[in-house]
Structures are given as structure tokens and as C-alpha cells.
């Protein structure tokens, strides 16, 4: 199953041997079709504490509720993916189309594709590829973004829940560590070139659909009417991967996008770069990641990245993660901690900075080669400084469930 979801499963540190298997392979004339996917569900209990002024938002923080129970999907959505590949005129040609139905509804009688209180669904992938192993491949269509993609693919909560379970009931996914250690790569229309693998080194560069700048209610920012300026975003990444008794991967990626602004600034550019590494030896795994941006915002790209006058804000994010696979039973235990920070400009009188952090402990057990049981505990915290006042809030989430790959 040569899809991005396949890569996500294979790259996650908690992935098991079943993730390397293909889905349902069907020969069809000149084509070979591969039908695969993911089904997952978790029971979650989230307890809230702190100040309402810290905002509820995507992270689900605030004191407006004492606790909440949900049955929902985790960071990975439910997935049904159809891929096809063929060899024609000395080219490897392929396609992928996916559907992502949500598994949580919070309102009686709502099972359609409408708003977040019930039945939400997504279509994350629809792309074609062509190329050859001698010179690489071209991708056209919608798929996972390039910048910060390795950050999420190495996040252990990819097979679990992480943060956001208390506020995203009715949505297709939770947040995992998004917004508490790295930016969301998101799913973008793109034209991208990927190089061959040269003894472990490879790179990808591309043009992706630009996002519009948006505000975040918890810290007043640029108006949601500010546009992407009719420009594509430039994204790229490079990595080196090696095998052996000590295996691992190092990577770096970046993004740059022009933004047209309604404030005095008129126009600006959102940029970000990151670097990360993953090393595995004797059942132990260690991952480290750091990203820094200007105008890129926090949690979601271009969200809160500019102040009310159109001036860009600085941000950074990082996480550390350690895992250990128990011999004989293949259960993977993990612990991780990360932070995402957005800094206001000195001219702002109502916003200084916001810091979101989360630590997670998890256990991921392969009950069969396709079915994994997952248990996690995550504690997310927001600290908001508006110069004249400060606010702090926490969300503590326990999640228990299972994820099936086919």
C-alpha cells in the first residue's frame, strides 16, 4: 500500500511488523490495485482545570468543564485507501484516493458530512505519481504536506490519541502532539518532486497550495480575511537514513509563503525550518525535534502568525521522545515531552506570548499482526500572557482503545 498513511504507520516509532504488510492486492489488467486502511476507536476521559481566560480552542483547555468522556478516533483518522500502480512507456505510474470517515457523533440524528457535532468526514488524499527509480518521481494532487511531515510521522501518539480528546468529539481525529511540539503538516494540493534514494539520502521539493492567514481568538491576531496573496508555498525536505545494529534517520525541512495583509504591513512572508533525528538500538528508540518560524503561527500553519497590524510573530516548537520495546512480547513503551511557543511583538499591548506543552506516556501492544491495543496518559498545559494578565489551564487525558491496519 504505497500511500502516505502507509508511510505514517511505518515511520511511527510504535509501529509493529504488521505495518510493513500490503493491504488487499488485486491484479486488474495492466494495473495492480491495493486496498488498505485503518480503523481505530478510543475511550477517553479528560479532566480540565485552570483559568477560562487561557482559552479552550483546539487544545481543549480551560475550566469551563470539570471532565468529559468521549469515544472517538485518535490522531490517525479511519482510513479507506485505494491505490493503483502500473509500468507504462518506461514509467512507473500510480494513483491514490482515500476516504476518512469520522467515528464520533455528539448529536442525535446527525450522521452526515456536516459540522463538527456529528458525522464529519474528510478526503485527505487524491494524487497521481509518475517516474522511474533512476531519476525519481513527480506527484500531483492532494497529500500530506512536506514541511514538518517527519515530525508527525515519528510521533509515538500517531497510533494513539495524545492531546485534544476533550474538545474534538465529533471530529475525525484528535491532535496527538500537534501544537505541543510541532506544527501540523496538513493535507495540501501540491506538485512535488522526490529524488531517488542515494545510499540513504533523499530529498523532496514542491509547490503547495498556500494557506490564508488566520487569527486565534485566545491571542488577538491578524484578521481571517487576510489572504495568501495568490502565491504558492515553497516546501522542501531532505533526509539521511541508515540501517544496522544502530539504525536511524536525520532530516530537515522548510517552508516559505508570501502573505498579503490588510494591515499597515501590506505584505509579508511566512517562513519556517526544522531539524530532527531518530536513533534506534537494542529495542531503545530516541527522537529529538526542533522547529522555528516567523509568521508561520502555532499548531496550524498561518494561525496566529501575524498581529493585528500585520507584523509577523516568532514561534518555535520542540519535542523529545524515548521508547523501549519489551523483548518477547513486542509491547512498546514510550514517554515524550514537547512545547510550542508563540511570541507577540513588542508593540502589542494585549498579547505577550503563549506556550502550549504536553507530556505523554503510552503502551502500544500488537495483539495480532494487524491489531494493536493502546493505552495513553497525556497532560496538556497552556500558559497565556496578555501583559496585564496571565492565565493557565490544563487538560489531563486517559485513553484506552485499539487500532487495526489492513
- Mean pLDDT over 106-124 rounds to 64
Q: Phi first, then psi: give them for residue 20, nearest 5 degrees.
A: -90, -10
Lowest mean pLDDT among 11-25, 97-111, 124-138, 271-285: 11-25
Whose grid coordinates read 495492466?
30
Non-local CB neighbours of 109 within 8 Å, separated by 6+ positions:
none
For residue 399, is pLDDT > 90?
yes
With vertex at residue 353, the alpha carbon angle to CA 50 and CA 64, rounded to the nearest 5 degrees, is: 20
For residue 14, is pLDDT > 90?
no
* Beta strand pairing call for 371-385 and 31-50: unpaired
What is the model's pLDDT at position 380? 93
What is the model's pLDDT at position 112? 57
* pLDDT band, residue 118 (cuts 50/70/90): low
- Mean pLDDT over 380-394 rounds to 88
CA distance 139 to 193: 6
- Mean pLDDT over 274-285 rounds to 98
Lowest mean pLDDT among 171-175, 255-259, 262-266, 318-322: 262-266
- Mean pLDDT over 88-116 rounds to 77
- Report pTM: 0.89
What is the model's pLDDT at position 323? 98
For residue 221, is pLDDT > 80?
no
- Mean pLDDT over 162-189 rounds to 86
Lowest mean pLDDT among 83-87, 234-238, 303-307: 303-307
Burial of 245 (0-12, 13-18, 19+ CB in 10 A): exposed
- The closest of 215, 174, 171, 170 to 380, measured between CA atoms, is 174
For residue 6, is pLDDT > 50?
no
DSSP assigned state of 54: G
Lowest mean pLDDT among 64-68, 271-275, 353-357, 377-381: 64-68
For residue 151, is pLDDT > 90?
yes
Give the residue, 158 or 59, on which the prediction is more confident. Answer: 158
For residue 16, is pLDDT > 80?
no
Contact 265, 258 (CB under 8 A): no
End-to-end CA distance of the chain: 9
pLDDT one-digit tens code per residue, 28-75: 999 999 999 999 999 999 988 877 655 544 454 555 567 888 888 999
* Beta strand pairing call for 187-194 and 136-144: antiparallel
CA distance 127 to 141: 4
Mean of per-residue pLDDT scores for the chain: 85
- Domains in the chain, please, with CATH? 4-405 (2.40.160.10)
- Mean pLDDT over 131-158 rounds to 97
What is the model's pLDDT at position 391? 84
CA 210 to chain centre: 17
For residue 226, is pLDDT > 80?
no
DSSP assigned state of 55: -
* pLDDT band, residue 168 (cuts 50/70/90): low
- Mean pLDDT over 269-280 rounds to 97
- The closest of 363, 368, 375 to 405, measured between CA atoms, is 368
Reported in sequence order, the residue ranges of 67-155 that DSSP labels E, i.e. its strands, are: 67-72, 79-88, 91-101, 121-122, 126-132, 136-144
What is the model's pLDDT at position 101? 80
Contact 236, 254 (CB under 8 A): yes
DSSP 26-48: EEETTEEEEEEEEEEEEEEEEEE
For residue 190, is pLDDT > 50?
yes
What is the model's pLDDT at position 260? 79
- Mean pLDDT over 321-325 rounds to 98
- Mean pLDDT over 105-128 rounds to 69
CA distance 186 to 145: 6
CA distance 319 to 15: 19
The per-residue b/e assignment along 203-241, b for 16 or more CB within 10 angstroms, e otherwise, is: bbbbbbbbbebbbbebbbbbeeebebbebbbbbbbebbe
What is the model's pLDDT at position 107? 67
- Cβ neighbours, 10 Å, residue 177: 31
CA distance 53 to 85: 52
What is the model's pLDDT at position 7? 44
* pLDDT band, residue 8 (cuts 50/70/90): very low
In terms of residues, how long is the chain? Answer: 406
Amino acid at each position: 500500500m504505497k500511500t502516505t498513511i502507509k508511510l505514517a504507520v511505518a515511520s511511527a516509532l510504535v509501529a509493529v511488523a504488521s505495518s510493513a504488510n500490503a493491504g488487499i492486492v488485486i491484479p486488474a489488467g495492466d494495473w495492480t490495485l491495493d486496498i488498505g486502511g485503518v480503523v481505530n476507536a478510543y475511550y477517553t476521559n479528560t479532566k480540565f482545570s485552570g483559568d477560562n481566560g487561557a482559552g479552550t480552542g483546539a487544545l481543549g483547555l480551560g475550566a469551563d468543564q470539570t471532565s468529559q468522556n468521549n469515544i472517538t478516533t485518535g490522531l490517525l483518522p479511519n482510513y479507506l485507501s485505494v491505490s493503483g500502480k502500473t509500468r507504462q512507456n518506461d514509467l512507473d505510474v500510480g494513483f491514490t484516493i482515500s476516504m476518512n470517515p469520522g467515528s464520533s457523533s455528539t448529536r442525535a440524528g446527525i450522521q452526515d458530512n456536516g459540522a463538527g457535532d456529528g458525522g464529519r468526514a474528510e478526503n485527505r488524499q487524491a494524487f497521481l505519481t509518475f517516474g522511474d527509480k533512476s531519476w525519481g518521481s513527480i506527484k500531483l494532487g492532494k497529500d500530506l504536506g512536506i514541511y514538518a511531515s517527519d515530525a508527525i510521522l515519528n510521533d509515538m501518539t500517531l497510533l494513539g490519541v495524545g492531546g485534544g480528546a476533550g474538545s474534538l468529539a465529533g471530529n475525525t481525529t484528535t491532535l496527538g502532539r500537534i501544537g505541543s511540539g510541532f506544527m501540523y503538516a496538513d493535507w495540501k494540493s501540491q506538485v512535488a518532486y522526490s529524488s531517488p534514494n542515494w545510499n540513504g539520502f533523499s530529498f523532496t521539493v514542491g509547490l503547495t497550495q498556500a494557506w490564508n492567514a488566520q487569527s486565534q481568538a485566545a491571542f488577538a491576531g491578524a484578521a481571517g480575511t487576510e489572504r495568501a496573496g495568490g502565491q504558492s508555498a515553497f516546501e522542501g525536505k531532505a533526509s539521511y537514513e541508515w540501517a544496522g545494529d544502530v539504525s536511524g534517520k536525520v532530516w530537515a525541512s522548510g517552508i516559505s509563503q508570501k502573505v498579503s495583509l490588510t494591515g499597515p504591513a501590506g505584505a509579508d512572508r511566512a517562513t519556517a525550518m526544522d531539524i530532527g533525528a531518530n536513533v534506534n538500538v537494542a529495542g531503545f528508540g530516541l527522537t529529538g525535534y526542533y522547529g522555528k518560524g516567523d509568521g508561520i503561527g502555532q499548531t496550524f500553519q498561518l494561525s496566529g502568525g501575524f498581529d493585528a497590524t500585520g507584523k509577523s510573530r516568532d514561534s518555535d516548537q520542540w519535542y523529545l521522545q524515548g521508547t523501549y520495546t519489551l523483548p518477547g512480547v513486542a509491547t512498546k513503551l514510550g514517554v515524550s515531552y514537547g512545547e510550542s511557543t508563540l511570541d507577540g511583538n513588542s508593540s502589542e499591548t494585549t498579547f505577550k506570548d503563549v506556550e502550549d506543552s504536553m507530556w505523554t506516556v503510552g503502551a502500544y501492544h500488537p495483539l495480532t499482526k494487524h491489531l494493536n491495543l493502546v493505552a495513553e496518559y497525556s497532560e496538556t498545559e497552556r500558559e497565556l500572557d496578555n501583559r496585564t494578565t496571565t492565565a493557565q489551564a490544563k487538560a489531563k487525558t486517559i485513553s484506552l482503545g485499539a487500532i487495526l491496519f489492513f
